Amino acid sequence: MNWLKNIFGSSKAGDPTGLKLQDIESWLNDRQKDAGFEDKMDGIYAKVEPLEKALSRDIASLASADPDSSTPPKLLRAGLAARGEIVKQLESLEEKLHPPGRRDPDSIYQHHWSLLKGLERTVTTFGRAQRYVAALFPKNIEGINSELGKASRLLVEMEELIGKNRKLQEESWYCRKLAEGLDRSRAAAEELERKVQERESDLKRIKSDLSSQEENLSRLAESEKGRDIEKLKERLADAVHEKAQAEEELSSLVSPLSKALARIAKQGSSARLALQHKNVFSSLLAAPSRVQDAEISGSLQELRLHLAALGLKDKKKEKTLDHIDMLIKDNSLEKARARQAGLQEEISILESRLAEESQEGKRLKELIVYAKKSLKSLEEELSQSNRDLASLHEKAHADESELEERLTRIAGGPVKIEL
């Protein structure tokens, strides 16, 4: 990037120049002014004016010059035709030589491009026709050649200045974009840092609340109330177990009657037998605990009465009859059902008491669960925010380094951004 050293001079060793981010735009504008592009171009345009006038005289002289009368007719026709073509092209070039009315970079660039193309076309035309015209008007062609040479050298001067200015403009454009990006990154990072601090504060508060709630739950468990709750839970577990045993006992008492009950229920539903307890028989099979005590004895008596009509084998019928007699005599089903019903009532009472006594513990557990969920969610958000923040810092650092490098090239000496 030595081209910038040619504009500002070579860099000198020393402390870096401090430059605030908000001052970069005005600093770049100053550097553009210091480069003096328009002034230097005015110096070149000052050379264009006499060249334009000289070329105009040469064009007029060529256009009005008379050929030697001794020129062969064929060469004369070719030379005159070529002169007309050259004059026309030179007049076009003369118009393009005139400096632009506006001296801003875009107008200067456009004028240079138009002049360059015009000179290229002129040189091409001149190259094709020169030998014919030179044969007729050698002195005129010599003067025009000299003016075209001067125009070419002026174009080289323009191109060198324009190239340097374009490079400066390009470098300045990148600097502005980097400064804008750096400013946005810093603003975004500051906002994200604020949110991270808020989340860290929330995280600390939730952890403190969670610790307090866990301590309260632990104290509750160790208190007299907590011990009473544990006793209720133990008694409830025992009652549930005893109820299951009572239900198993009921099932084992009804099981030997299952075949007889199934047949009598079937015959009762088909109206083959007129039964008073046909619904009870179905209930004894499906859910004996739901049968009322008053219905048990009557249904067993009715089953015994119709046992012979159920088509059971003698041995099965005899066993069934003995089992029915035992149930009637000992009131076994009523006792087992009463035990199961009593346990169910006790379970309901225990569950109600336990639900009432456990309200505080339940509330604390719900708060703990909610706090843990909030804690996990907040930790994930905080982790993502820290990753985003690291990415923003990385981008800002990269933009800052590149910006300092480009500003250093423009300044011709070290530049340090002051953030």
Strand partners, 19: 417
Model confidence pLDDT, tens digit, residues 291-346: 777 677 777 777 777 777 777 777 887 787 878 778 787 777 888 888 888 888 88
DSSP calls for 359-416: HHHHHHHHHHHHHHHHHHHHHHHHHHHHHHHHHHHHHHHHHHHHHHHHHHHHHTS-EE
Cα–Cα distance for residue pair 89/83, rounded to 1 Å: 10
Q: What is the percentage of the chain residues whose pLDDT exceeds 70?
A: 93
Determine contact, residues 407/416, Cβ cutoff 8 Å: no
Q: Closest by alpha carbon to 87, among 137, 48, 51, 156? A: 137
Model confidence pLDDT, tens digit, residues 89-124: 888 888 888 888 888 888 888 988 988 898 888 888
Q: Which of 22-26, 34-38, 261-265, 321-325 is predicted most confidently?
A: 22-26
Torsion angle, alpha carbons of 347, 352, 357, 358, to 10: 90
Determine contact, residues 61/143, Cβ cutoff 8 Å: yes
Alpha helices in 65-137 (DSSP H): 73-97, 105-136
pLDDT class of 286 with cuts at 50, 70, 90: confident
Instruction: Give the number of other CB atoms < 10 A from CB of residue 91.
Output: 15
Radius of gyration of the chain (CA): 55
Going from the C-alpha of 68 to that of each of 58, 73, 134, 408, the distances in angstroms are 19, 11, 12, 65
Cα–Cα distance for residue pair 355/170, rounded to 1 Å: 77
Checking if the pLDDT of 367 tops 80, the result is yes
Using alpha carbons only, give the angle 80, 86, 87 rounded to the nearest 5 degrees. Answer: 90
What residue type is 116 in one-letter code? Answer: L
Instruction: Decide: helix, strand or coil at residue 72.
Output: coil
Cα–Cα distance for residue pair 302/264, rounded to 1 Å: 10
- Compute the mean pLDDT over every residue in the chain, rounded to the nearest whole number: 82
**Which single residue is written with the structure tokens 């062609």?**
141
pLDDT class of 6 with cuts at 50, 70, 90: very low
- Which pLDDT belongs to residue 304? 78
Q: Output the six-digit token pair for 240.
A: 């549930």
Q: Output the six-digit token pair for 117.
A: 């193309």
Checking if the pLDDT of 13 tops 60, the result is no
pLDDT class of 2 with cuts at 50, 70, 90: very low
Checking if the pLDDT of 4 tops 50, the result is no
pLDDT class of 272 with cuts at 50, 70, 90: low
Determine contact, residues 152/115, Cβ cutoff 8 Å: no
Q: Output the six-digit token pair for 122.
A: 């002129």
pLDDT class of 201 with cuts at 50, 70, 90: very high
- Which pLDDT belongs to residue 15? 67
Checking if the pLDDT of 193 tops 90, the result is yes
pLDDT class of 384 with cuts at 50, 70, 90: very high
Cα–Cα distance for residue pair 308/285, rounded to 1 Å: 20
Mean pLDDT of 147-157: 88
Q: What is the DSSP letter of 104?
A: S
Burial class (CB in 10 A: 0-12, 13-18, 19+), 220: middle
pLDDT class of 7 with cuts at 50, 70, 90: very low
Q: What is the percentage of the chain residues whose pLDDT exceeds 90?
A: 9
Cα–Cα distance for residue pair 243/347, rounded to 1 Å: 9
pLDDT class of 390 with cuts at 50, 70, 90: very high
**Which single residue is written with the structure tokens 């632990």?**
218
Please provide the size of the chain in residues.
419
pLDDT class of 48 with cuts at 50, 70, 90: confident
Domain ranges of the chain: 2-194, 223-357
Mean pLDDT of 134-160: 85
Cα–Cα distance for residue pair 46/64, rounded to 1 Å: 28
Strand partners, 20: 418
Q: How many CA atoms lie within 13 A of 164 on its CB side?
A: 22
Checking if the pLDDT of 131 tops 60, the result is yes
Cα–Cα distance for residue pair 91/59, rounded to 1 Å: 7
Burial class (CB in 10 A: 0-12, 13-18, 19+), 221: middle
- Which pLDDT belongs to residue 273? 67
Using alpha carbons only, give the angle 129, 132, 137 rounded to the nearest 5 degrees. Answer: 110
Cα–Cα distance for residue pair 183/162, rounded to 1 Å: 31
Cα–Cα distance for residue pair 94/56, rounded to 1 Å: 7
- Which pLDDT belongs to residue 387? 92
Q: Are strands 17-20 and 415-418 parallel, antiparallel or unpaired?
A: parallel
**Which single residue is written with the structure tokens 């401090």?**
18
- Which pLDDT belongs to residue 269? 60
Going from the C-alpha of 258 to that of each of 85, 282, 344, the distances in angstroms are 127, 10, 25
Checking if the pLDDT of 134 tops 60, the result is yes
**Which single residue is written with the structure tokens 């062969």?**
72
